[in-house]
Amino acid sequence: MYWTYIVKSMENNRYYVGCTGNVARRLDEHNKRLSKYTRSKGPWELVYKEEFSNLRLARKREKQIKGWKKRAAIERLIQGAFV
């Protein structure tokens, strides 16, 4: 199984959208500053995850969410307003 996930910086309230086969490991990597983009913006908390049967679908959803560009759209997703 694969997941598209959203983490939120507890320092500056920014969001990061990604996909992975192991959400717990990936969150740990973000918080240990092993991810280039997120290393200077943590600590991070997991605020959303969505499960997919394969990596291709998870990446497609990641790309869709990143394409929204609007913070409000991501926050509606986190709050359950989108399917």
Q: What is the pLDDT of residues 32-59, one digit of tens each?
A: 999 888 988 889 999 999 999 999 999 9
- Of 47, 36, 53, nearest to 71 (Cα)? 47
List pLDDT tens digits, range 53-67.
999 999 999 999 999
* pLDDT computed for residue 39 by the predictor: 87
Can you give the three-state secondary structure of 39-72, one letter per residue?
CCCCCEEEEEEEEECCHHHHHHHHHHHHHHCCHH
pLDDT tens digits for range 9-22: 999 999 999 999 99
> Mean pLDDT, to the nearest integer, of 70-83?
84
Compute the distance between CA of residue 77 and CA of residue 31 in angstroms, rounded to an integer.
23
pLDDT at 82: 58
Sketch out the chain's domains with CATH numbers.
2-57+64-78 (3.10.20)
